[in-house]
Amino acid sequence: MVLEKINQPGDIRKIPHDQLPQLAEEIRQFLIEKLSMTGGHLASNLGVVELTMALHLAFDPAKDRLIWDVGHQSYTHKILTGRKEGFTSLRKLGGMSGFPKRSESSCDVFDTGHSSTSISAGLGIVRARDLAGEKYSVVSIIGDGSATGGMVYEAINNAANLKTNFIIVFNDNGMSISRNVGGLSTYLSDLRTSEGYTDLKKATEDALRQLPIAGDWAVERVRRTKNNLKTILMPGGALLENFGIKYFGPVDGANIDQMVRLFENAKKVDGPVIVHVRTKKGKGFGPAERMPERFHGTGPFDIETGLPKVKKTKADWTDVFSTVMCKEGARVPNLCAVTAAMAEGTGLRRFRGMYPERFFDVGIAEEHAVTFCAGLAVGGMIPVFAVYSSFLQRGFDQMIHDVCLQNLHVVFAIDRAGLVGADGETHQGIFDLSYLSLIPNMTVMAPKNKWELADMFRWAIHKADGPVAIRYPRGSVCDSFQEFRAPVEKGRWEVLYDESDICLLAVGSMVQTALEVRQRLRQNGYSCTIVNCRFVKPLDEETLTRMAGEHKLLVTMEENVHSGGFGSRVLEYLCAIGSCVPTLVCALPDAYIEHGSVDVLKKECCIDAESIYGKVVSRFIGL
Ligand SMILES: Cc1ncc(C[n+]2csc(CCOP(=O)(O)OP(=O)(O)O)c2C)c(N)n1
Ligand SMILES: CC(=O)[C@@H](O)[C@H](O)COP(=O)(O)O
Ligand SMILES: [Mg+2]
């Protein structure tokens, strides 16, 4: 086994050249086997095995800086930097992250997770290198999907006048999570498939290689000429040259020698240079090659069939949203759905199939998506932007400046709100109640179960007259409390159990937890009210005032950080009305929460029923 010889950074350089194909194959099998047990980002990683090997042959990860955009495709990089053992605990609490982490290895230069940051970060590192008078290569590796993010163009524009080496590896597999969208992907597919260019390259190269001594040099000269030709001939190619950025490629992402040669050439460029590598997402595993979208992120699976090991038995929150959108799409002719390259993850695939003309995938461009929705609203449409909580952080100013200031009727369907688990710090949706509640004109809601999710979206589409955000978690939908279905009224909460002593003020997913806390309290002789605080903003001031007057202890419960969250706003209100009722805030800590299973993380953060019950009783006894 060649892979056995890979135990620390740089070991790949000791592997005999003729064993590299074997190493690639062994890495591929290792990834398939490990991820069949743990789950993870399989297809993207299978596509970059040879590319990563070539990078580790051409560059020294102990000295040179490799920055992985998004970083979900960095598993081979982790293997080649001595972290094979980490795959047993991939994305488990205390185990190895699924993304680059500086805390995990000095070969992880920059923490990533959200898309389109690698060129900005790389350029910053280049500038720092030059100011420090140091010498090392900086390489940003970015996929074609990530290149649809706006930050990339800000960075490329800013790199234009750079006079020192900066290498951008463009990993082009024609896929984002779904099929890639936008002008860039069209331009790329032209470059990728321009037969004329490819034939010229192959025939010329073969002929020139026959030349004694000068063969390689001649190939290089022709390649540079051809590249210049291409940039002049290919309308889009000139774009990069006009930015002062050299373009090399496209090169076959399965051919290690060719890539190493191009990387070595790229090192000689005094300025920014893009190396365009063509890869195949899912390479080497049949189901992933056939269904790269399905195997972009996967749970544990059967290697023989590719089928998931864990059968899905319950609908997800996302599935309920998807059904509501399809039904409302038939009733509301101006209802539009917008996604930022996450059609599958946000449940918009069916809507896309039923109403293609009212479905918009804007690429990985959340900030653009928000303002695009503002435009749709101004134009008389009712846009629903379906987006993960942590990715919506990208569009904060656009929500203020373009949607809420004008009080436009835009609906934000915020999925993956709360703890998401395996993806860790960059993906936990734990700030949205805070960052949304502070925006004037924004209505913020969180449903307790699937029926209320549907009712909320119908209210948001048909009744709301301004911006509305509805946030719900990743995973199986809550199907309890069917007996409670008060009509949705703006700023009105729903009192589920009206007793005395203790009042649980629960938001969204925490209503289920509140039910479990109440059961424990009643078993121990305490009476306990539960209020479904389904409007986080505006607060139901009338109900809150009544609860404050009728209970000895208030307890707020939310899957959001403390600062600026629901509990903070309740405390502000109670203070404003001069109430001194003891209040316990149960929220996530103001911290970044690492990867792990959601149940384990809730216990770690003390927002599980057991922990909350313990805190409530000790507080109540202490009154
Ligand atoms: C800001 C942001 N939005 C959305 C995502 C979700 N996301 C993760 S990977 C990905 C597609 C990336 O495509 P590409 O860069 O081509 O990488 P590939 O998986 O094809 O290797 C998306 C949309 C993200 N990580 N960050
Ligand atoms: C890498 C990335 O950002 C996405 O693939 C994300 O991991 C998807 O998350 P879900 O698995 O919750 O859809
Ligand atoms: Mg891609």
465 plus 500 within the same structural domain: no
> What ipTM goes with this model?
0.99
Note the pLDDT of residue 242: 74
Closest atom of ligand 2 relative to the 474 alpha carbon? 12
**E strand map for 215-321:** 246-252, 272-278
228 pLDDT tier (thresholds 50, 70, 90): very low
Closest atom of ligand 1 relative to the 341 alpha carbon? 23
Among the ranges given (171-180, 275-284, 296-305), the one the predictor scored with the smallest mean pLDDT: 171-180
Question: Regarding predicted confidence, which is higher, 598 or 203?
Answer: 598
Among the ranges given (55-64, 171-180, 348-357, 512-521), the one the predictor scored with the smallest mean pLDDT: 171-180
441 plus 523 within the same structural domain: no
120 plus 261 within the same structural domain: yes
Sign of the Cα torsion 434, 438, 439, 445 reads positive
462 plus 322 within the same structural domain: yes
Can you tell me the distance from the alpha carbon of 382 to that of 467, in angstroms, rounded to the nearest whole number? 10
244 pLDDT tier (thresholds 50, 70, 90): confident
Note the pLDDT of residue 161: 87
113 plus 71 within the same structural domain: yes
Query: 254: CA distance to ligand 3 center in Å?
Result: 15
198, pLDDT greater than 70: no
Rounded to 10 degrees, the C-alpha dihedral 54/57/58/59 comes to 110
In a domain, 309, yes or no: no
Residues lining ligand 2, Cβ inside 6 A? 41, 70, 72, 296-297, 345, 416, 420, 423, 474
226, pLDDT greater than 80: no
φ, ψ dihedrals at 421, nearest 5°: 95, -105
| pLDDT tens per residue across span 470-494 | 999 999 999 999 999 999 999 999 9
Can you tell me the distance from the alpha carbon of 235 to that of 583, in angstroms, rounded to the nearest whole number? 64
Please give the tally of structural domains in the chain: 3
121 plus 66 within the same structural domain: yes
462 plus 587 within the same structural domain: no
| pLDDT tens per residue across span 510-534 | 999 999 999 999 999 999 999 999 9
Confirm or reject: Cβ of 152 under 6 Å from ligand 1: no
Average pLDDT score, the chain: 93
| pLDDT tens per residue across span 412-434 | 999 999 999 999 999 999 999 99
Question: Regarding predicted confidence, which is higher, 233 or 442?
Answer: 442
Note the pLDDT of residue 239: 66
In a domain, 574, yes or no: yes
Tokens of 30: 């290792």
In a domain, 565, yes or no: yes
In a domain, 522, yes or no: yes
Note the pLDDT of residue 235: 35
Note the pLDDT of residue 372: 98
Can you tell me the distance from the alpha carbon of 104 to that of 19, in angstroms, rounded to the nearest whole number? 29
Task: Tell me whether the omega of the peptide bond preceding residue 250 falls within 30 degrees of 0, making it cis.
Answer: yes
Tokens of 418: 């709360």
Query: Active-site residues: which are they?
Result: 281, 366, 394
Average pLDDT (179-208) is 59
258 plus 121 within the same structural domain: yes
Closest residue to atom 23 of ligand 1, CA basis: 341
Q: Which ligand is nearest to the CA of 173?
A: 3
340, pLDDT greater than 80: yes
Note the pLDDT of residue 307: 97
Can you tell me the distance from the alpha carbon of 249 to that of 121, in angstroms, rounded to the nearest whole number? 23
| pLDDT tens per residue across span 97-110 | 999 999 999 999 99
Closest atom of ligand 2 relative to the 420 alpha carbon? 12
Q: Which ligand is nearest to the CA of 117?
A: 1
Note the pLDDT of residue 238: 63
Residue 175's DSSP bridge partners are 179
160 plus 261 within the same structural domain: yes
Average pLDDT (319-332) is 98
205 pLDDT tier (thresholds 50, 70, 90): low
Q: How far is CA 404 from CA 371, 397, 504, 560, in A?
A: 11, 10, 31, 22
Structural domain boundaries, residue 131: 3-178+245-290
In a domain, 341, yes or no: yes
Report the CATH number that the domain containing residue 371 is assigned in CATH.
3.40.50.970
189 pLDDT tier (thresholds 50, 70, 90): low
Among the ranges given (8-17, 83-92, 243-252, 432-441), the one the predictor scored with the smallest mean pLDDT: 243-252
407, pLDDT greater than 60: yes
Q: Which residues contact 378 (CB under 8 A, 6 or more apart)?
A: 406, 408
Can you tell me the distance from the alpha carbon of 187 to that of 65, in angstroms, rounded to the nearest whole number? 29
| pLDDT tens per residue across span 41-84 | 999 999 999 999 999 999 999 999 999 999 999 999 999 999 99
User: Domain end: 471, 505, 526, which one?
Assistant: 471
Can you tell me the distance from the alpha carbon of 235 to that of 238, in angstroms, rounded to the nearest whole number? 6
Average pLDDT (492-499) is 97
149 plus 92 within the same structural domain: yes
197 pLDDT tier (thresholds 50, 70, 90): very low
Q: How many CA atoms lie within 13 A of 368 on its CB side?
A: 14
In a domain, 210, yes or no: no
236 pLDDT tier (thresholds 50, 70, 90): very low
Instruction: Give the whole-number percent of the chain exceeding pLDDT 90.
Output: 88
In a domain, 324, yes or no: yes
Helix (H) or strand (E) holding 424: none
Query: 90: CA distance to ligand 2 center in Å?
Result: 15
377 pLDDT tier (thresholds 50, 70, 90): very high
Closest residue to atom 13 of ligand 2, CA basis: 345
Best residue among 44, 387, 427 to mutate for probing ligand 2's pocket (most ligand atoms within 8 Å of CB) is: 427
234, pLDDT greater than 50: no
| pLDDT tens per residue across span 542-574 | 999 999 999 999 999 999 999 999 999 999 999
Sheet holding 535-537, edge to edge: 359-361, 335-339, 382-388, 411-415, 468-471, 443-445, 535-537
Can you tell me the distance from the alpha carbon of 84 to that of 88, in angstroms, rounded to the nearest whole number? 8
| pLDDT tens per residue across span 433-484 | 999 999 999 999 999 999 999 999 999 999 999 999 999 999 999 999 999 9
Report the CATH number that the domain containing residue 554 is assigned in CATH.
3.40.50.920
In a domain, 501, yes or no: yes
Note the pLDDT of residue 146: 96
Provide the 10 A C-beta neighbour count for residue 395. Answer: 23
Highest mean pLDDT, choosing among 136-145, 222-231, 238-247: 136-145
Confirm or reject: Cβ of 423 under 6 Å from ligand 1: no
96 pLDDT tier (thresholds 50, 70, 90): very high
User: Domain end: 471, 486, 513, which one?
Assistant: 471
199, pLDDT greater than 50: no
- Residues in the annotated binding site: 72, 113-115, 144-146, 173, 285, 366
183 pLDDT tier (thresholds 50, 70, 90): confident
Average pLDDT (342-367) is 98
Average pLDDT (175-196) is 70
508 plus 457 within the same structural domain: no
Q: Which residues contact 523 (CB under 8 A, 6 or more apart)?
A: none
Residue 443's DSSP bridge partners are 468
181 pLDDT tier (thresholds 50, 70, 90): confident
356 plus 392 within the same structural domain: yes
Query: 152: CA distance to ligand 3 center in Å?
Result: 15
Can you tell me the distance from the alpha carbon of 157 to that of 180, in angstroms, rounded to the nearest whole number? 22
